[in-house]
Structure 1
Amino acid sequence: MHLLCRGHLKLLVVSLTAIVLLTGLYLLTGNLENDRSLLLKSCLTDTPAVEVFERAVFESRVRELEEENSQIRLQLSQSQGTTAQLAEGNYGNQQWGASADTVPEDGDIIAEEKDNHTDCPRTSTVQKCELIHVACVCAGHNASRDVVTLVKSILFHRRNPLHFHFITDTVANRILSSLFQSWMVPSVQVSFYDADELKSEVSWIPNKHYSGIYGLLKLTLTKALPFDLSKVIVLDTDITFATDIAELWGIFKRFTDKQVIGLVENQSDWYLGNLWKNHKPWPALGRGFNTGVILLYLKRLRRISWEQMWRLTAERELMSMLSTSLADQDIFNAFIKQNPVLVHQLPCFWNVQLSDHTRSEQCYTEVSDLKVIHWNSPKKLRVKNKHVEFFRNLYLTFLEYDGNLLRRELFGCSSQSSPEGVQLQAGLEELDEDDLCYDFRRERLTVHRVHLYFLQYEYTTTEDDTDITLVAQLSMDRLQMLEAICKHWEGPISLALYMSDAEAQQFLRYAQASEILKKRKNVGYHIVYKEGQFYPVNLVRNIALKNANTPYVFLTDVDFLPMYGLYNYLRKSVVQLDMAHTKKALVVPAFETLRYRLSFPKSKAELLSMLDMGTLYTFRYHVWQKGHAPTNYAKWRTSTTPYKVEWEPDFEPYVVVRRNCPEYDQRFVGFGWNKVSHIMELDAEVRLHALGCLADNDLSPPPPLIW
């Protein structure tokens, strides 16, 4: 059928071209005759009757040719409609004789015309400001990071309000809820659904795919999503959009009254069963379908008892297949094989599947035709494809794109701001732009995007309840300190990194290439994205502080190296000083060196020797002695037991305190007084008498900090 229509189309094009050429020659000949008669008119006498007769014959022939051309153009447009529909592969309409009638449902506007031979749907349009629903299953730290690139690509092109539905585990819920709350994108709603409550629906299915149980949860969406939600676009996290998602949403209007699922044909040979000897895939219709992009008509799926139907399909096939190889995709395909009338095949450019074993290059002629790129190979950017450089650049564009630029209002649609957004706008309107401190006051109202746990994080609670997290903040220029800190501090670490989107990706590559950082899973990296002209140092500190998971925190700066063994030493001190029942802050003495290379002291005696030789100095000795003078270094040199110190103005030591200590004052931005204000408030809370200072003798561990 497809080949016949294509041949007929070529014949019509050739015929039309020939007729147009003949018409042009005929008209040219006529013009030459007319010109010749005009030239000879002064020399010869023409009979008026003959002249009228020739003109009448000529006009009649031109009308005939125009009618023929019109008929050919009509046939050509009908053939093109048929070919386009066959290319789309609308299985429910063509191959199994389903009704071609499209029934209006849920307020859909149907734009479709038919004749006796073919259905020629017009381009389906989405109503202005119509809400588009998108669902994703997202679990873990890596998937939470990947889904941000997907969301950026959608937001970049979109012109409609969006509602994202995320089925998440606890980790992804914490990360994405914080991200979207701080992102504050207008006309974007976000809902979360607990994946743990859905696991029992699919846990009985053995699955060999690397996605594990989460790769099966798309089967449960009719149950997971709100019952009044009629339609949803379901996406994998490794998807990148190159067009407005509204175009994909509009395809729902092309569904026949029986179609419930929209999918793109699988572009690999997996379901053909010829990849290797004894390869036995699950049953599928032809090449099968890929479930990276799905249009789910939820209302109709519930009407046909989808949950019961896919369960029966899975139970039947598992009797012989024993497990799934491609998670939900195997079950979707087995179901479609039994119920082909229910599927609406999407054009392949809605899910161009990039891996080393796909036919994706046959899906398009120009990369400008593509709508959705699916990085469905673990190799991702290293796939073999002649256009891989284009795909890589598209992906990297959104990977490093400044997410702050996506906070734009939708033109012509009423803004759906959160209460926080309304409050922020009211605060901005109250500011006086003529105020000399306007920039600082505006900075106080700036909401920075925050991506918690940017890398994999694992922490196990200790039994003795004395654990301590090192808390610090940094920017790109301090990245080289991370490996050294991890060598000196074996306990948990909470780091807030103030970076742009592009810098965050540079950090990711740095961390993934470092053998030291890759081994450490108890380090929480939290990205605070750059915005505004000031460094919000105390805001960044608070992000690191609030995301520490231990009872105690060691508040320090990233360019200090703790002494070896300080982690265990401080935990013992917490017990000895009974910090669980009294309010105390342990002051950790700080030192600095002016040398780039230094042999780290192994004992207090060695450190005292370096102080005497001028290799080391007490911190800020040359520029700001008041900042650490209350530590009383003279007393520390001879002390063998902890001693109390009194707070003084400008004191800014590095301390160990309980995690629920006061937060830093975020009104302080840039350089100066940010730690001073925090120590002042901390001292007020512990009421002066609780500040203690660690002291050691020669036989104890060496002093803790060197800058």
Structure 2
Amino acid sequence: TCPLPCRGAAVGAAQIILHQPLWLLLQVVGGRALLLPPCLTLSPAPQLPDRSALESRVREVEEENRQIRLQLGQSQASAQLPADGTYGGQQWGASADTGPEEGTLRPRTRFHLKCNRVCSCLQVIHVACVCAGHNASRDVVTLVKSVLFHRRNPLHFHFITDSVAHQILSALFQSWMVPSVQVSFYDAEQLKSEVSWIPNKHYSGIYGLMKLTLTKALPADLSQVIVLDTDITFATDIAELWGIFRKFTDKQVIGLVENQSDWYLGNLWKNHKPWPALGRGFNTGVILLYLERLRRMRWETMWRLTAERELMSMLSTSLADQDIFNAFIKQNPVLVHQLPCFWNVQLSDHTRSEQCYTEVSDLKVIHWNSPKKLRVKNKHVEFFRNLYLTFLEYDGNLLRRELFGCPSPNSPQSIQLQSALEQLDEDDQCYDFRRERLTVHRVHLYFLQYEYLQADDTDITLVAQLSMDRLQMLEAICKHWEGPISLALYMSDAEAQQFLRYAQASEVLKNRKNVGYHIVYREGQFYPVNLLRNVALRNAPTPYVFLTDVDFLPMYGLYDYLRRSVVQLDMANSKKALVVPAFETLRYRLSFPKSKAELLSMLDMGTLYTFRYHVWPKGHAPTNYAKWRTATTPYRVEWEADFEPYVVVRKDCPEYDQRFVGFGWNKVAHVMELDAQEYELMVLPNAFMIHMPHAPSFDISKFRSSPSYRHCLSTLKDEFHQDMSRKYGSAALKYLTAHRSI
């Protein structure tokens, strides 16, 4: 057995293969190089390296990599690895699943590889975070990215969450599918009573006190854990921090970095009276907790007695758990292990953080512990901001890489995926289409703050999907539809941050809390339109959904009209799909009609048209626009081939078929299945929506220009018909007959 961190020439060199060192990552955002080489001194001001020198160094590293791969390939060939992927009698799953019960810790495992040259002790590192709400859930992703980027060990994240963060993070990790990462969740609601009696003035509220409860919250057999705030960025391998546990004396139970502000010195302003602390006190953004020892010394009783004693004079905490930790340490200084300050470089105003480092290579952990976050005052703040932005916008798909020397068994989900991939024929002309259907996209639900209270049993959510090029439609839709909205946005990590800034700057969007924005991260070469629709549909909170596209504007008042129609047509007790007639304009500036009469007038004048009448009349012809002009009551229409109306249905309707990606037949297949399940198609006489003009999408351009694309779409149609026949039997014959007669 070799101790962590592993030493030795082979392993030290192998680190280059595992990931690029942070100082070699030159990512450009807004024309700026984000990261600098470690030899560069930060004081007085950072300078960019000579490009030719850096290129020369990169070539040297590449040659070193080649030589090391040869050596490691030889040593791995002689390594004796179990064929079943088990180590130490336990199996490690690359899963966000928590086991038989949520919050149950699987047995901790130490992995050992026997080889001649490489010593790699892959111990599981446990990390705990308290995370509550939409904003903290978004912040913790950047922390996790920075940890994953540098790590060479299996990780087990322990999240103490409210229901919001639990929903978001569990969906994210399940879809992220990072190898050798396990995630467990613990209900913060069950811990509130432990700390709710403590008055706290800090902006973190009750969740800022929950780190005090970790000995109770985390599994009883968990001995050690690294505890992190969500506003932390790692600049090194977290295994280095984990290794400090070995430096604890027999009596030490808590590892902390000294506070870098003057807060606990009590001299920030007149009559400033902080909680008692040892010297400058300690910051609790990064904590090493020796849980086993804390439990033996009855930590829960000791911190509670400390808090009760100090609250008699202090009345409330100002810095949440940090005040209580410091008061406890003041009385028991022998229990603390002081960490070097580069393990928690604190970027709040009025700190001494500059004294923690002289070179880039000194930096280990950056802590944005100011309410102002990235707007903090620091002479190197631009450098630190760029370091943070690197991980904020880093493509999370790249972090799905397997651990070097850690061939862990896969989760049932990844095994099933691998089996499905192996069944595909790579020589198939339509392989790319079939491969796309199996792509697992990362999903971040409720990317922005979301609040919704159901109006009643008739409430309806507008469901749509979009990418970056349709972002400008959001404000207009919010003005036309006052009800809840569920949107799936197909974006890269960097685009998601652009969207965040756009939404926060928009008076319309930031005042609408009943819009659920669900980011589906971009991967692959096709636009996964039906996957996106399904993500938005599944996360609609209402009994009914209005299935539309983001480039349509609903008529004013449509939300209330549809809710009344739900009642009038008794949709709660019948299978109906309410058709909202679709129109279009070729004008980018349109005086939107305020009534059906005004729309008919514009239709007669040629300002408006029935949707796609000139390029795809089959798509909406069954709506029977001639009848709609004079209709005063809903009327039923029959399904016809290629019919693709926009409809209101119960949320439990069939989902969209995800084999259809890019352009073509994605809505047609869905309406066909509604008909197969005997939904009545009812056209609403006083409802309408208008398609706004925009440039053609990339996928429709591919459809028009590529015979191969059109061939594969036709193949997928045939296969869909075959599946319909198997699913619905003789009732599906009419769809196949209609398809062949076209």
Per-residue deviation at 1:416? 4.1
Residue-by-residue CA offset, 1:621-680 (whole Å, 9 max, x unaligned): 110000000000000001111111111000000000000100000011110000000000
Per-residue deviation at 1:703? 3.2
Are residue 206 (structure 1) and residue 199 (structure 2) matched?
yes
Counterpart-to-counterpart distance in 1, 2:522 and 2:602: 40
Indicate the residue corresponding to 2:688 in structure 1.
703
Indicate the residue corresponding to 2:542 in structure 1.
550
- Matched residue SS, 2:122: coil
> Does structure 2 conserve the Cα–Cα contact (< 8 Å) formed by 1:290 and 1:329?
yes
Counterpart-to-counterpart distance in 2, 1:639 and 1:427: 50
> Does structure 2 conserve the Cα–Cα contact (< 8 Å) formed by 1:126 and 1:246?
no
Instruction: Show structure 1 runs of 5+ residues with no match.
Output: 1-105, 109-124, 697-701
1:515 maps to amino acid:
E
1:379 maps to amino acid:
K
Are residue 653 (structure 1) and residue 638 (structure 2) matched?
no
> Does structure 1 conserve the Cα–Cα contact (< 8 Å) formed by 2:109 and 2:124?
no
Match of 1:694 among 681, 684, 690: 684
Are residue 425 (structure 1) and residue 425 (structure 2) matched?
no
Indicate the residue corresponding to 2:575 in structure 1.
583
Indicate the residue corresponding to 1:341 in structure 2.
334
Counterpart-to-counterpart distance in 2, 1:368 and 1:504: 30
Per-residue deviation at 1:603? 1.4
Are residue 471 (structure 1) and residue 463 (structure 2) matched?
yes
> Does structure 1 conserve the Cα–Cα contact (< 8 Å) formed by 2:161 and 2:186?
yes
Indicate the residue corresponding to 1:622 in structure 2.
614
Are residue 221 (structure 1) and residue 214 (structure 2) matched?
yes
Per-residue deviation at 1:379? 1.3
Are residue 516 (structure 1) and residue 501 (structure 2) matched?
no
Are residue 597 (structure 1) and residue 589 (structure 2) matched?
yes
> Does structure 1 conserve the Cα–Cα contact (< 8 Å) formed by 2:448 and 2:516?
yes
Indicate the residue corresponding to 2:142 in structure 1.
149
Counterpart-to-counterpart distance in 2, 1:605 and 1:138: 52
Match of 1:280 among 268, 273, 277: 273
Count of residue pairs brought into register by the alignment = 579
- Give the percent of matched residue pairs that are identical in Structure 1 and Structure 2: 88
> Does structure 2 conserve the Cα–Cα contact (< 8 Å) formed by 1:126 and 1:249?
no
Per-residue deviation at 1:705? 3.6
- Matched residue SS, 2:128: strand
Indicate the residue corresponding to 1:444 in structure 2.
437
Indicate the residue corresponding to 1:92 in structure 2.
none
Task: Evaluate the alpha carbon distance shift between residue 170 and residue 107 of structure 1 in structure 2; reply closer, same or farther with a 3 A threshold.
Answer: closer
Structure with max Cα Rg? 1
Counterpart-to-counterpart distance in 1, 2:184 and 2:409: 15
Residue-by-residue CA offset, 1:429-459 (whole Å, 9 max, x unaligned): 2222112121111111110000000000000
Indicate the residue corresponding to 1:61 in structure 2.
none
Residue-by-residue CA offset, 1:100-141 (whole Å, 9 max, x unaligned): xxxxxx999xxxxxxxxxxxxxxxx99621100000000000
Counterpart-to-counterpart distance in 1, 2:147 and 2:646: 44
- Matched residue SS, 1:150: helix
Per-residue deviation at 1:414? 2.8
- Matched residue SS, 2:615: coil
Residue-by-residue CA offset, 1:565-601 (whole Å, 9 max, x unaligned): 1000100011111111111110000000001111001
- Matched residue SS, 1:528: strand
Counterpart-to-counterpart distance in 2, 1:477 and 1:329: 45
Per-residue deviation at 1:704? 3.7
Per-residue deviation at 1:512? 0.3
Indicate the residue corresponding to 1:66 in structure 2.
none
Indicate the residue corresponding to 1:331 in structure 2.
324
Runs of 4 or more above 4 Å deviation: none
1:437 maps to amino acid:
C
Larger displacement relative to structure 2 (387-396 or 332-341)? 387-396
Per-residue deviation at 1:461? 1.6
Per-residue deviation at 1:426? 1.7
Counterpart-to-counterpart distance in 1, 2:598 and 2:420: 55
The equivalences for 1:83-162 within 5 A come to 128-162=121-155
- Matched residue SS, 1:189: strand
Match of 2:656 among 659, 664, 672: 664
Indicate the residue corresponding to 2:498 in structure 1.
506
Per-residue deviation at 1:686? 2.5
2:458 maps to amino acid:
T
Task: Evaluate the alpha carbon distance shift between residue 657 and residue 552 of structure 1 in structure 2; reply closer, same or farther with a 3 A threshold.
Answer: same
Are residue 675 (structure 1) and residue 667 (structure 2) matched?
yes
Per-residue deviation at 1:468? 0.2
Counterpart-to-counterpart distance in 2, 1:425 and 1:606: 56
> Does structure 2 conserve the Cα–Cα contact (< 8 Å) formed by 1:563 and 1:703?
yes
Indicate the residue corresponding to 1:241 in structure 2.
234
> Does structure 1 conserve the Cα–Cα contact (< 8 Å) formed by 2:109 and 2:123?
no
Counterpart-to-counterpart distance in 2, 1:589 and 1:442: 35
Counterpart-to-counterpart distance in 2, 1:499 and 1:251: 39
Are residue 383 (structure 1) and residue 376 (structure 2) matched?
yes
Indicate the residue corresponding to 2:87 in structure 1.
none
- Scaled by the length of structure 1, what TM-score is found? 0.81
Counterpart-to-counterpart distance in 1, 2:109 and 2:591: 75
Indicate the residue corresponding to 1:16 in structure 2.
none
- Matched residue SS, 2:386: helix
> Does structure 1 conserve the Cα–Cα contact (< 8 Å) formed by 2:284 and 2:322?
yes
> Does structure 2 conserve the Cα–Cα contact (< 8 Å) formed by 1:292 and 1:351?
yes
Per-residue deviation at 1:413? 1.2
Counterpart-to-counterpart distance in 2, 1:703 and 1:195: 46
- Matched residue SS, 1:671: coil
Match of 2:454 among 456, 461, 481: 461
Indicate the residue corresponding to 2:64 in structure 1.
none
Residue-by-residue CA offset, 1:455-490 (whole Å, 9 max, x unaligned): 00000022x300000000000000000000000000
- Scaled by the length of structure 2, what TM-score is found? 0.77
2:416 maps to amino acid:
Q
Larger displacement relative to structure 2 (237-246 or 428-437)? 428-437
Indicate the residue corresponding to 2:485 in structure 1.
493
Indicate the residue corresponding to 1:633 in structure 2.
625
- Matched residue SS, 2:501: helix
The equivalences for 1:167-206 within 5 A come to 167-206=160-199
